Every structure is written in C-alpha cells, then in structure tokens.
Chain A
Amino acid sequence: MSPDLVALAVVIILPLFGALIAVAAPGHGGRIAVTVALGTLAAALVLLVRVGGAEPVVVEVGTWSPPLGIALRADGPAVLLLSVSALILLCVVLYSRPLIGSRSARMNQTFWALLLLLWGALSVIFLSRDLFNLYVGLELLSLTAVALVAIEGRRETLAAALRYLLFALTGSLLYLLGVVLLYAVHGTLDLGLLSGRLGTGATDGLALAAMTAGLAAKTALFPFHVWLPPAHAGAPAPASAVLSALVPKASLYILLRLWFEGSPALAGEVVVQSLGVLGALAVLHGSLMAFRQERLKLVIAYSTVAQIGYLFLIFPIAAGEPAGADAAWRGTQFQLLSHALAKASMFLCAGLVVEAAGHDRLARLAGFARAQPMTLFAFGLAAVTLIGLPPSGGFLAKYLLFNAAFDAGVPVWSLVVLIGGLLAAAYLFRPIALAWRAPDADRTAFAPVARSRQLLPMLLAIAALSIGLAPGGPAGLMGGLP
C-alpha cells in the first residue's frame, strides 16, 4: 500500500478506534486523545503534501467501485479542511486535558470518546463521495455534537441540546428523503457518477430542495439558527470550539459539493437568490444579536451565525457572470478555513476567561487585560480575522468575495461583505474594550491559568492570520469552481 492510501485510512480509522479505546480504558482518555490527535494530524499533513504535489487520492473501499461500493476521495478542498480540523482538534485536546482531568470520572470517560467520534465523523464527511455514507457521517456528527452540548447535565444545557437535536434530526430526515429520491431515479449515490446527471430526473428538484433545506438547518443558516447560540454557549468551552468552528462547516461542505459538483446546471434563479438573501440576513441578524449579548460565549456564538452567512453568498455570485465564479469559490473556502481557526481560538480564550473569573459576563471583565494579556491578544488576533482586516485569512476571504460579486455583475452582494465587516468590528471591539478597563477595587482577582494553555488559542489565531500571509499554497489546492 502506498503511503497516501495509508494516510487516508488513518484519518478515518484512528479517531474512531481511539474513541473505542477511550471508552474501554477510562482514566487514560487524555493520553489516548493526544496520541490520536498527533497521529491524525501527521496523516492529514501527509495527505496535504501528497495531494498538493499530484492528483487527488482516491480509494474504492474493499476494491468495490461505485455504484456498488463507496469511494473516498481526498482532493484539495478536502485535505485543507482535514489539516485545519486536525490542527484545531490537537489544540482542543491539549487544552482540555487539565480541564477535563479535574472533573468527574464519568466526564473523563465520555468527553474524550465523544470528541474522537466527532473527529472520525468529520473525516468521513470530508472524504466520502457517497451520499448515503455522508448521511451516516452527518448523523454520527450530530449525535456526538448534541451529546457534547449536554455533557454537563445542567437543565439549560439539556434544553439547548434537545433543541439542537430536534433541528439536527429534522435536517437529517430531509436530507435522507432527498437521498432516497435521487437513488430511485439515478440508481447511484456516488457524487462523481451523479455529476452532471442531477436535474434530469422528474423528482430531482424535490430531492435537491429537501437536501438543501435539511443541510441549511444543520448549518444553522438564518432562520434555522435558533438552536445554535444556546447550544454553543452552553457546552464546555473546548467542545464549543469544535462545535462552532467545524461542525456547521461539515453540512455546508456537503451542500457545496452537491450543488457545484453534482448539479451545476440546476441552479434555479429563485433558489440561489433566496439562499443569498438568507445568508445576508444571517450576517445582519447574527451581528446585531452578537452586539446585544451580555455574555462572552454568546457573543462568539452569535458571531458564528453571522460568519456562516458569508458562506451562502457563493450561491448568487456563482450564478452570475462566470468571471466571478472561481474567486467566489476560493473566497468561500478561505472563509471556511480562517473562520474555523479564528472561532476555535476565540472559544478557547472564552474558556480561559471562565476558568480565571468563574463566569463570562462582559460587565465584570474589567482588569482581564492585566491578568491574562496573552489570552486577550489572541482574542484580538482572532478578531482581526473575523472582521476581515489585512493581512488575515478573513481579509482574503472577504476581499475575494467582494471582487467576485463585482466580476459576476451582482455588486449588491459586496455590500453585505462590507456591512458585515463593520458590524463584526463593533461587536468584537466591545468585549476587548471592556477587558481593558481598570479593575474595580472591590472585585476579586482572576485565578491564574497556566501560560502553556494560553499559547494554544494564540497558535490558532496566528494560523488564521498566516493563511492570509501565505495564501498561495491553499489557493492552489482549492482550484476553481468545479
């Protein structure tokens, strides 16, 4: 077996086996997770290098070819997402070890298993080419994500988890309905074989509508976002980092593959325009709500609602003049990657705030800048990416989307990018300004937090920034609109 095939198998199998071992050997979860994280990151980087230098790596599982078998394919966008998620999860695992280690034995047993199962599901979704296989991956992802929200067992988090679960299950059923209708017409669920054939069958429109609605609900597109803020703000901070940075991207990734690889010809004017309008509303609504929150984790969670909105602007832009399509495709991927890194960094910062202060109320953060300057600096760097200031990855994403809207002859969408950036500056500046205020005399001091753990959000924020400093490599892997 060639090294790239081994690497492809490792990124899926290692997290799944790690989860099983973490259940079987409670008390060693942290060590198992670190081992799995290092191994999976190494395999993802091998894939990144191999795919960067040559063709995509394709495996037909058990040598059964589609339409009977399932193909796994690591192409440019897939390996970029795999590498970024491996980096984020490694940081989350290192961050969580002291935090989870101090909790109950039950928490130790379940947290690591759930985190690793979630990782396995992400890898499957990024690699699989089979729509039903993707359904199974999506369900595994949703169930582990919901369980991570509920893991602390408080009443509010249980309610948030149930609300999340109901949205996720409705979304999966709609997606599954679409899969059934596509199979009935085309007799295959392989994305490669379906490519170009979607839209020819009588029920394809209904199938795609159901799948799009289901995946949009799972991605928390406005107005299906109501589950996201309580769920992401209620989970333990390292879990929130993964939930906010990576989980909504998985369903969006399937949506992008389905629309742009599967059925480029089917883009109905009404559908793509309404997806764009919902994305624009998500940017506005999420930003305004983020500005009005009193708790840091809720600010960050509503910011996710807003940042997800940008990812849907590709639909109307790609439907415009072809000149803007490639830039929109790359801009969307830069947004996916840089938002994932920046958002994970922010939630880890929020976790450090909670550990040091015992709460995350913005009104009582005065003096935090003096207590943990490095954490606040990391938060600020991550904010630079989310606002879209140069030279960050977020700037590149927004710049590409902005120009693509003009090239595509639909400049109205570039307004959304501009307004969203301004609003992001407003709601992210607020917590930073409050943390800079001089501490009140009667407040108790912040508890100390290990310097090494403050480095982790910093590392992620620097990674988000460096995507913008060296965009050549990723851009080459992203390719043009398929």
Chain B
Amino acid sequence: MPVWMPYAFCAAGLIGLGLYGLITDPRLLGRILAFNVVGSGIFLLFGALARRGSVDYADPVPQAMIITGIVVAISATALALGLTVAHARAGGGESLPDDDPAEDRPRGSGE
C-alpha cells in the first residue's frame, strides 16, 4: 500500500462524516463544526495526494495551498460563530427556523 493511502482513506471518511453533519444537524454550532471537519478532511486529502507518484519527497505546492485554505476556513468559522452568537442574542435560538422565514411565505388573500 502506498504511504499516502491510509491518509487518503481517513480524509475520505472525514469528508463524508462532515458532509453528513453539515446537511442533517439542525444546530448551527454543530453545522459549523461539521464544516471544519469537511475542511480538515479536504486539507488532509490534499496533503496526502502531494506524496503521490514514485518520488520520495512531497510536492510543496499543496502545502502552501493548505495553509491558505486554513486561513480562509478560520475566517469563515469566525464569521459563522459571530453570526450565530448575534442570532442567539437577538432571540433566534441555537438553530435556524426550519421553515422559510415568515416574510418569505406567500400570503393567502385571507390574511
């Protein structure tokens, strides 16, 4: 088995788990964590695939991109957490309303 293979399988597992959480978890905090799990999986996959081929050194370009990607993911997480806190403080609770917001719903003529 090539040296990068176990890492790639782990990465695929993380991406799958994270995507599942991102779609099914109703809590905002859970979804933000799931986003970070998917992100970590993708970065791990990127790092693992940098070691493909017959050479015995890793391609350095993916590492530069992973670092950039981590910075982007941290910014996105910070914004998401800030919005979640503001949403909870405004009385919105820890999850989004399941149905569309009231103003989004078309009104019947009786209303």
Contact = CB atoms under 8 A, between A and B. Distances in A.
B90 A173 contact: no
Contacts of B103: 156, 230, 233, 295, 298
A180 B46 contact: yes
Contact of B90 (A155, A169, A292): A155
Contact of B86 (A136, A150, A298): A150
A177 B15 contact: yes
Interface string B61-100: 1100100110010011001100110110011100011001
A146 B84 CA distance: 13
A130 to B, nearest CB: 10
Contacts of A298: 103-104
B2 interface: no
A155 B102 CA distance: 12
B96 A169 contact: no
Interface residues of B, number: 40
A187 B59 CA distance: 9
Size category of the binding interface on chain A: 35 or more
A187 B83 CA distance: 38
Contacts of B101: 156, 159-160, 230
A293 B52 CA distance: 54
A103 B104 CA distance: 26
A183 B42 CA distance: 13
A21 interface: no
Among A154, A159, A172, residue most surrounded by chain B Cβ atoms (within 10 Å) = A159
Given A156-B103, A230-B103, A173 B83 contact: no
Contact of B104 (A68, A147, A229): A229
A80 B15 CA distance: 38
Among A153, A173, A293, residue most surrounded by chain B Cβ atoms (within 10 Å) = A173
B55 to A, nearest CB: 12
Interface in A161-208: 161-163, 165-166, 169-170, 172-173, 176-177, 180, 183-184, 187
B75 A143 contact: yes
A289 B103 CA distance: 13
Contacts of A161: 83
A161 B19 CA distance: 20
A177 B87 CA distance: 30
Given A169-B35, A169-B76, A292-B106, A159 B87 contact: yes
Contacts of A311: none
Nearest to B47: A180
A153 B68 contact: no
B87 A143 contact: no
Among A146, A161, A184, A295, residue most surrounded by chain B Cβ atoms (within 10 Å) = A184
A139 B104 contact: no
Contact of B38 (A132, A162, A165, A173): A173
4 closest A-B pairs (Cβ-Cβ)?
Answer: A184-B49, A292-B106, A155-B90, A158-B87
29 contacts: A139-B72, A143-B75, A146-B79, A153-B86, A155-B92, A158-B90, A159-B87, A159-B92, A159-B96, A159-B97, A159-B101, A160-B101, A162-B28, A162-B83, A162-B87, A162-B96, A166-B31, A169-B35, A170-B23, A173-B35, A176-B39, A176-B42, A180-B62, A183-B49, A184-B49, A230-B101, A289-B106, A293-B106, A294-B106
Interface of B: 15, 19, 22-23, 28, 31, 35, 38-39, 42, 45-46, 49, 52, 59, 61-62, 65, 68-69, 72, 75-76, 79-80, 83-84, 86-87, 90-92, 96-97, 100-101, 103-104, 106-107
